[in-house]
Amino acid sequence: MATPLTADRLLKALRDEGLTVVQVGNWRTHNRNHKGPWGPVNGVMIHHTVTQGTAHTVELCRAGHSTLPGPLCHGVIAKDGTVHLVGYGRTNHAGLGDNDVLQAVIAERPLPSDNEASTDGNRHFYGFECENLGDGKDPWPAAQLLAIEQVSAAICRAHHWSQRSVIGHKEWQPGKVDPRGFEMDSMRGRIANRLGAKPPPAKPKPPTTPRYEPFPGAAFFKAGRRSAVITAMGKRLVAEGCGQYTVGPGPSWSEADRKSYAAWQRKLGYSGTGADGIPGRASWDRLKVPNI
């Protein structure tokens, strides 16, 4: 039993589990809260849609229809494993179900048979509709089954629940058959394995390669030349302990720049004309002047 996750925490929990999430319209405020309470929440309920086509399925679950207004769930799990969030709060997905089942979910023990419809499930369960015809023939792609596992684990992880807090609609309400095409016990096993492991690490950011100014040619360094490259060069010379500046460095090539660069050349082991203070390609590349 728990207070529902905020919309932000729900979104973060799903993304942290590695899911691709699409936020549909005003999902954060799209709900049926005016029809009854939302929470305390006790578990996650999985459904199939009896529809085909992701765009059509998402819109139906968002808007509902004349006899059952939307949203019809919190999220739609598409064939490719993408989760489309369509509502947050009370949604029309669970209907009335068996209180004995609810008590088993709360206690996280094996489920009894559902033989009555007396308890408001919309109050107590997060609901996820899965795009499938529900005829026992429409396939369940591996990416979609993985997403069901990830969605369930993400919410259980956030609430410190076990896999026993995840049920199918057919385990809640007499006469329902969804989800049809895979076994909920098998899915709970997958969820248990995921919860037993550490959460997947955040995707590392690709390393950034430092960018340096290319050698502009020796002729670039002559009296009166003004450039931000010369200022950047001077700062690197100061950082290397070779600065011979009284004021600066600045953007105009000066005698102080030449003397400073000569000190850098000597630091690298050059002498004579090799340490005349005019940059050459080899010494410039080793100075690593940042790209500006």
Q: What is the mean pLDDT of each run of 10 residues along the chain (292 residues)?
A: 93 97 97 96 98 96 95 98 98 97 96 96 98 96 98 97 97 96 96 79 68 92 91 94 91 94 95 94 94 81
Superfamily of domain 7-196 in CATH is Peptidoglycan recognition protein-like (3.40.80.10)
Report the pLDDT value the prediction gives residue 223, as an integer from 0 to 100. Answer: 85
Q: Nearest 5°: phi and psi at 225?
A: -70, 130
Report the pLDDT value the prediction gives residue 201, as an integer from 0 to 100. Answer: 59
Report the pLDDT value the prediction gives residue 200, as an integer from 0 to 100. Answer: 52
Report the pLDDT value the prediction gives residue 248, as an integer from 0 to 100. Answer: 82
Report the pLDDT value the prediction gives residue 197, as an integer from 0 to 100. Answer: 61
pTM, to two decimals: 0.68
Query: Nearest 5°: CA angle at 270, between 267 and 274?
Result: 130
- List, for residues 209-235, the tens digit of each pLDDT value: 778 999 999 999 998 899 999 999 999
Q: Are 153 and 128 in contact (CB under 8 A)?
A: no
Q: Are 270 and 280 in contact (CB under 8 A)?
A: no
